[in-house]
Chains A and B, each alone.
Chain A
Amino acid sequence: MYLLLALQKALACQLSVPSRASSYPLRPRVSSALSTAAQSVTVEIPPIKAVDNIQATIKPAELNFKMATLILDNGAGTAKVGFSTDTEPRIIPNCVTKAKNVRTRIFIGDQIDECKDLSSLYYLLPFQKGFLVNWEIEKQVWDHMFSKDVCQVDFNETTVIVTEPFFNFPSVGEAINEVIFEEYQFQSLHRTQAPTLSCYKHQKDKETSGSLFGTLVVESGYSFSHLVPFLKNKPLKEAIVRVNVGGKVLTNHLKEVISYRQLMVMDETYVINQMKEDVCYVSTRFNKDMQIARLKGPLNTITRDYILPDYTHIKRGHVRPPEDSGKSKGDEQMIRMNNERFSVPELLFKPSDVGIQEMGISESIMHCLSLVETELAPHLLNNVLVTGGNALLPGLQDRLYQDVRSMACDDYDVGISTPKNPITYPWHAGCDFSLDPNFPSMCVSKHEYEEHGHNICSQKFNVSSTSPS
């Protein structure tokens, strides 16, 4: 009932060229007192936040006999950055943000934490479809990250590991070389991919438990999801599969359906992304959950009332506690999340639900296995590692297991694991890798770059799409 009432009102304003008349956050929508749905609301654990850790304390004296290594896992959504000696990386939004109500400044990376009103933010992102295309923006974010405000990098004494996506375009790679060596003057550089680092750490951590002949890394991030099979530590490029669904598509889709069904939130990427992280989950019984979501009252254990922040009294969006349900405070804005809670993350498994004609991540695992040597496939199947921000969606690992188990040959074991922090895992892996005896030989020094240019970089880094190793 509430749905349709809301529809008639919300739609009227949305369709005639997004008039902002009755949209969030300007005017509270009077929520009907019909909402008696008292449910057992279990408030989900909030997403892991950037740990404000202590600055890297590398004393100049130490630098004389040991160079510092900075690890920059440069994701399209967030960059994870810190020295190999730090316990945790800083997680920096990889963007420049403008706030509607703050006209005197812009916010670079995590400076957005200084902004009190996070409604109607405008984003400038250096990445397009997962690839670094706008250096005007990226340079500002990197300048900030390397400054005393974040990492205080002494470029002359620092080796840096930078990650990039698989099949990165050569000219983007060259831009990274040039910026690292010529603009910042780092001492040496190693370029790699987050899944390659993850595989390295995963292998090392599990070394004692027996043969890790193959690892299949499922990295589901902001722009897309990659399935990367490894033979030992070597990515098998001809069998890498990319699904063009990531956290950004999920948030945009959620914005779209909420704006159509309930409340105009098209400008509220930040707020809706937070809501996604707070209440969305991956269903392991999709049809059953759809049935439950149809039920009225207490029988509907799926629905959640999500109170939106107004940034004056309510600083952060949250699920309305069960004891408050039914009571609606006149000045609150609320979104009722029902089937959206699980139908939105469903796009990772069924991109065709929104017309993206690609396999989802489970089916892609099977496709990926069909592209590798038959002897390797069972090893990969039994050793799947899930990383990236979407791995935090509750139920994702269980659903992957369920799907893959149903599609794989009965004779093979299926093993899927998720690290405790799937966002920072590649960064930690970079710390481990920097201590590997082979690591120095895989870096290009500033001197080598000056001598041989981009060629030596494409030889040493395992990033080009054509070279086999």
Chain B
Amino acid sequence: MADKRESVRIKDGQQLRILDEAARRRRQRKALEALEQDNFSEDPHADLKMSKKAPKFEEVMETASTSGPKKKRKSRGDFKLRYRKSFAALLEEEHMLNKDGPSYVTACAPPSKFPDRHFCAVCGFPSAYTCVQCGARYCSVKCLGTHQDTRCLKWTA
């Protein structure tokens, strides 16, 4: 079955392509990022004009630019902008302020001392084989076929 697939590929003039280390790492990173995502699709109301929102934002912008950081803040909403920091920015800030001592970074669990387990990327059962082309795991010829037809090299990360 796998052979037949191969021959089809070669007939198409395609070489047996092998995903390089960098591409494999990129895929893995994308997969981990996906596990952190809040939403898969875009905001369904993105096309709506929130008439309430626009003036509010301007008001915030104004106060932020005119008042110093330690001055009295009269406008509600000013703090939202001042404290608006991405997680990456917070981490950077922490790194600058707290060089030793326990921190968010030091508290992270270290890698496991036990060996990794491997599961078929298609069916989720324990897998004994690795796809030569992309490094994904599979458990049977059947699952390899599905993998090649769907993800393998068809997935660009």
Contact = CB atoms under 8 A, between A and B. Distances in A.
B62 interface: no
B20 interface: no
A408 interface: no
Contacts of B107: 166-167, 226, 240-242
A128 B87 CA distance: 6
A171 B97 CA distance: 11
Contacts of A166: 107
A125 interface: yes
Interface residues of B, number: 57
A465 B98 contact: yes
A169 B124 contact: no
B151 interface: yes
B95 to A, nearest CB: 11
A180 to B, nearest CB: 11
B40 A167 contact: no
A86 interface: no
Contact of A358 (B31, B48, B111): B111
Interface in B69-86: 73, 76, 79-80, 83-86
Contacts of A179: 79
A249 B123 contact: no
Contact of A169 (B41, B73, B79, B94): B94
Nearest to B120: A339
B44 A122 contact: yes
Contacts of A15: 150-151, 154-155
B21 interface: no
Contacts of A175: 79, 83
Nearest to B48: A103
Nearest to A226: B107
A341 B150 CA distance: 24
Nearest to A170: B97
A350 B80 CA distance: 38
Contacts of B83: 135, 171-172, 174-175, 178
Contacts of A169: 90-91, 93-94, 104
A240 B106 CA distance: 9
Interface in B103-146: 103-104, 107-114, 116-117, 119, 122-126, 142, 146
Given A100-B44, A133-B87, A125 B38 contact: yes
Contacts of B114: 363
A123 B39 contact: yes
Contact of B90 (A133, A178, A256, A261): A133
B124 A257 contact: yes
B3 interface: no
B123 A266 contact: no
A129 B109 contact: no
Nearest to B121: A260
A248 B146 CA distance: 28
A133 B84 contact: yes
A171 B85 contact: yes
A258 B9 CA distance: 29
Contact of A244 (B43, B108, B125): B108
Contacts of A293: 125
B13 interface: no
Interface string B20-46: 000000001001101111111101110
A167 B91 CA distance: 11
A73 interface: no
Contact of B87 (A11, A131, A136, A269): A131
Contacts of A356: 32, 35
A18 B155 CA distance: 13
B43 A248 contact: no
B149 interface: yes
A7 interface: yes
Contact of A98 (B45, B109, B146): B45
Contacts of A466: 98, 101
B102 interface: yes
A267 B32 CA distance: 18
Interface of A: 3-4, 7-8, 11, 15, 18, 98-100, 103, 106, 120, 122-125, 128-129, 131, 133-136, 139, 166-167, 169-172, 174-175, 178-179, 182-183, 226, 237-238, 240-244, 248-249, 252-253, 255-257, 260-261, 266-267, 269, 290, 293-294, 339-340, 343, 350-360, 363-364, 367, 465-466
12 contacts: A7-B122, A18-B40, A103-B44, A122-B43, A179-B79, A249-B36, A343-B119, A350-B112, A354-B35, A358-B108, A465-B102, A465-B103
CB-CB nearest 8 A-B residue pairs = A266-B40, A175-B83, A358-B109, A167-B104, A169-B90, A135-B80, A11-B150, A359-B109
